DNA sequence: GTGTAACCACACCGGTGGGTATACTCCCGA
DNA sequence: TCGGGAGTATACCCACCGGTGTGGTTACAC
C-alpha cells in the first residue's frame, strides 16, 4: 500500500535534474507561482524536454510530492530502527521531525503547502499529501496500540497534532526547537495514558515490525 | 498593538460586497488562483471599482485576512467570557475552535493557507497570519501563567500546537471532532503541569483581563 | 446648481501562464 | 548502418493575469 508504483522508472539524467530543480522551486516559492519556463531554465533544459519526460505540470508536481514523501518516510523509518520500545518509537518520530526540520523544512510541511495550493479537489497531489498525514497517524496508532493502550486513537491523534503544530511553529513563528517541545509534550501525554519507559506487561515485542508499511 | 488601524473606514456598499465575495473566493479557492475579474463579476462590480476602493490585489488580500482575523479573535474572546478559571479559559479556546471549524473552516486555517500561498516574504499578508498565531500563543501563555505555572511557554507552546494540529486534522483528514480531541489532550497536558479544576493557591484572579489584547 | 463621491461600461495594456510544433543533433545498441 | 530515444533551439498559441484610462450616470451636499 505504501509503494507508490510497481517500479519507479530509472529517470533520465535530464529528468532527474528537472525533478531536483522543480522540487526546490516548488517548495521554496510555491507550486502555483513557479512557471515551467523557470524550471526549464534552472535545469538547463528546454520546456520540450520537461513535457517529454513528465507530460504536464500536474504530473511533475505529483512526482515532486511523491519523492519528497518517500524521503520523509525514509527519514522516519531510519530513526525508528534505533528505537526498541513502542514509546521510544513514538519519540523517535519526533526526533526525526527535529532533524528533518533542521535540514530541509524551513518553509513548513511541503505536503500541507501543496494541499493548500492545489485547491482543486481533484488534483492527484492532494491524495499524496493526505496519504502522508494518514500514514504518520497510522504509524503512531500502531505504536500506541503496541504499548497496550486500549483505544489507540485517543492518544495517537493528539500525538499527530503535536507533529503538525510543531511544523507550524517552526515555519511561521521560527521556533527552531519546536519538535523538541512537541516531543516533551508527547512524553507527558503518553505518561498520562500509562505509556512509560517500562516495557508493557503482557504485550509481545514484535520487534521487526517497524520498517513494514 | 492588536488594533489593526486607527479607524477602519466605513466601507462603501460596493466595497463591502467586494470584500465579502473576495473573502469567500480567496478562502475556498485560494488567493493565487482567484483573479480580480472573477471577484468583480461575483460582486456585480467592475474591476475599476475594486481598484478604486482597494488599490491593488495585495491590499484586498490584506483586508480579507484582517477581517477574518478579527472575526476569529472575536469568536475566541466571546467564548472566553463564559470561562472563570485560567484552566477554563484555555479549554474555551478549544471550544471556540470547535465551533469555528464547524461553521466556517472546512478548508483549514485561512491564515496558514495565506502564509503558504504568499511565498513572497515581503507580502504584508504574512504578517497578519503570523500575528494571529503569535496572538493565540500569547493568550494561552497568559492563562497558563495565571494558573501559576512557572515557565508558561513549556505548557502554552504545546497547547498552541494542538490547536494547529486540530485544524490540519479537520482540513486534510476530515476529522470533524478534532478540536474536541485536542481539547481532551489539553486537559491531560494541563493536569500533568498541575493545572487542575481547582483555583490555584495564591494567584490573584484578575478577572476582566481577558478581552484586553 | 455645481461639485464630488460612488459607481457602471468597456476597451485596452504588457506580461506570463501552460502547452505545442518543427526541425535538427548526438549517441547507443541491434 | 541505421533507427530511435534523449536532447537542444526557437518560435508560437491562446487564455488569463493584474492593472489602467476614458467617459458617463446617479445621488447627495454645500
Partner-chain contact B162 A166, CB within 8 Å: no
Tell whether B191 lies on the interface with A, counting CB pairs under 8 A.
yes
Nearest to B164 among A29, A168, A181 (CB): A168
- Is residue A3 over pLDDT 70? no
Partner-chain contact A119 B185, CB within 8 Å: no
Selection from A124, A140, A141 nearest residue A61 by Cα: A124
Q: What is the pLDDT of residues A11-22, one digit of tens each?
A: 888 899 999 999
- Is residue A29 over pLDDT 90? yes
Mean pLDDT, chain A, whole residue set? 90
Contact flag, residue B14 CB and nucleic strand C, below 7 A: yes
Q: What is the pLDDT of residues A109-165, one digit of tens each?
A: 999 999 999 999 999 999 999 999 999 999 999 999 999 999 999 999 999 999 999
Sequence-ordered list of residues with C-beta below 8 angstroms from that of A207, at least 6 positions apart, any chain? A84
The predicted structure's pLDDT at residue B150:
94
* CA–CA gap between residue B94 and residue B154 (Å, rounded): 18
Which residues of chain B from 7 to 66 reach within 8 Å of chain A, CB to CB?
Answer: 28-30, 32-33
- Is residue A189 over pLDDT 90? yes
Contact flag, residue A34 CB and nucleic strand C, below 7 A: yes
CA of B19 to C1' of D24 (A): 26
The predicted structure's pLDDT at residue A8:
54
pLDDT, mean of residues A65-84: 96
The predicted structure's pLDDT at residue A9:
63
CA distance A58 to chain B (A): 15
Q: What is the pLDDT of residues A199-211, one digit of tens each?
A: 545 444 444 444 4
Query: Which stretches in chain B have pLDDT values below 50?
Result: 1-7, 200, 202-213
The predicted structure's pLDDT at residue B50:
97
The predicted structure's pLDDT at residue A1:
41
Selection from B117, B32, B122 nearest residue A114 by Cα: B117
Query: Do the Cβ atoms of B175 and B167 come closer than 8 Å?
Result: no
Partner-chain contact B30 A119, CB within 8 Å: yes
Sequence-ordered list of residues with C-beta below 8 angstroms from that of B140, at least 6 positions apart, any chain? B90, B93, B156, B159, B160
Amino acid at each position: 500500500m505504501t509503494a507508490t508504483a510497481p517500479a519507479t522508472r530509472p529517470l533520465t539524467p535530464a529528468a532527474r535534474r528537472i525533478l531536483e530543480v522543480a522540487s526546490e522551486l516548488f517548495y521554496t516559492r510555491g507550486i502555483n507561482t513557479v512557471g515551467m519556463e523557470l524550471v526549464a531554465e534552472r535545469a538547463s533544459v528546454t520546456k520540450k524536454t520537461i513535457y517529454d519526460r513528465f507530460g504536464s505540470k500536474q504530473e511533475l508536481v505529483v512526482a515532486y510530492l511523491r519523492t519528497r514523501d518517500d524521503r520523509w518516510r525514509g527519514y522516519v523509518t531510519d530513526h525508528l530502527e534505533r528505537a526498541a520500545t513502542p514509546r521510544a518509537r513514538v519519540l523517535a518520530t519526533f526526533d526525526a521531525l527535529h532533524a528533518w526540520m533542521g535540514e530541509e523544512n524551513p518553509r513548513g510541511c511541503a505536503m500541507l503547502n501543496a494541499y493548500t495550493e492545489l485547491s482543486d479537489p481533484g488534483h492527484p497531489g492532494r491524495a499524496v499529501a493526505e496519504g502522508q498525514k494518514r500514514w504518520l497517524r497510522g504509524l503512531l496508532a500502531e505504536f500506541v496500540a503496541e504499548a497496550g493502550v486500549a483505544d489507540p486513537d485517543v492518544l495517537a491523534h493528539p500525538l499527530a497534532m503535536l507533529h503538525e503544530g510543531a511544523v507550524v511553529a517552526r515555519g511561521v513563528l521560527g521556533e527552531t526547537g519546536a519538535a523538541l517541545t512537541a516531543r516533551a509534550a508527547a512524553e507527558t501525554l503518553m505518561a498520562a495514558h500509562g505509556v512509560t519507559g517500562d516495557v508493557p506487561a503482557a504485550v509481545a515485542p514484535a520487534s521487526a515490525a517497524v520498517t513494514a508499511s
